[in-house]
Amino acid sequence: MPVFFYLWNMREKYLWAPWRSEYILGPAEKGCIFCNALKRRGDSKNLILYRGDKTFVIMNKFPYNSGHVMVVPYRHVRMINKLAKGESIDFIEMIQLTVKVIRDILNPEAFNIGMNMGRGSGAGVPGHLHMHIVPRWTEDTSYMPVIGKTRVVSFGLDLVYGMLKEGFETVCRDGKSRPKQS
């Protein structure tokens, strides 16, 4: 790639995103972010949307897209094959429930669902297994991420948190991670 193109391209990559300063400049959290969130008071402050029997749903504080959440087992376990049978069942059921809630509330056209196990895979929290669920809309793959190599998160965390929290309360009964019978 010619040097002048690279320099010109660098000038075009600015996007004002002041909320990311906390991630970039803030102190690194000691210990596991998921275990810490579970121990602290205030689910809304810690972005915990729902607590199931063996797993919970937490919003990604620095999302790839509006509505980006993670399903996480309570037990601090690194690899999916280390989950007990009951944890595995609850993990998958919580993923299904979360997709239903996001679909009902945010009406995405598609989802990216996946996990990174181990630092070499790109895992930001390699010691605690978690599944990313990212709602997607055709428009979110417009020119910004493709040409500009920049993501745009359209809705603030507080707004999306409130909407999804209400969605979990509507879909679930008796505090269990099971949908209401229709």
Arithmetic mean of pLDDT, 135-151: 60
Cα–Cα distance measured from residue 32 to residue 134, given in angstroms and rounded to the nearest whole number? 22
pLDDT at 143: 47
pLDDT at 178: 52
In the chain, beta strands by DSSP E: 48-51, 55-59, 69-73, 110-114, 131-136
Domains of the chain as residue ranges with CATH: 30-171 (3.30.428.10)
Choose the most confident range, by mean pLDDT, from 6-15, 35-44, 140-149.
35-44
pLDDT at 29: 67
More reliable by pLDDT, 146 or 40: 40
Largest CA distance in the chain: 62
Q: With a cut of 50, say whether residue 50 has pLDDT above it.
A: yes
Q: With a cut of 80, say whether residue 25 has pLDDT above it.
A: no
Band of residue 42 on the pLDDT scale cut at 50, 70, 90: very high
pLDDT at 126: 81
More reliable by pLDDT, 154 or 105: 105
Q: Give me 153's structure tokens.
A: 């998160």
Choose the most confident range, by mean pLDDT, from 34-48, 142-156, 158-172.
34-48
**Out of 26-30, 108-112, 143-147, which region has the weakest mean confidence (pLDDT)?**
143-147
Q: Give me 41's structure tokens.
A: 């008071």
List pLDDT tens digits, range 67-117. Answer: 999 999 999 999 999 999 999 999 999 999 999 999 999 999 999 999 988
More reliable by pLDDT, 37 or 141: 37
**How does the average pLDDT of the chain come out, rounded?**
79
Does residue 147 sit in helix, strand or coil?
coil
Cα–Cα distance measured from residue 99 to residue 157, given in angstroms and rounded to the nearest whole number? 18
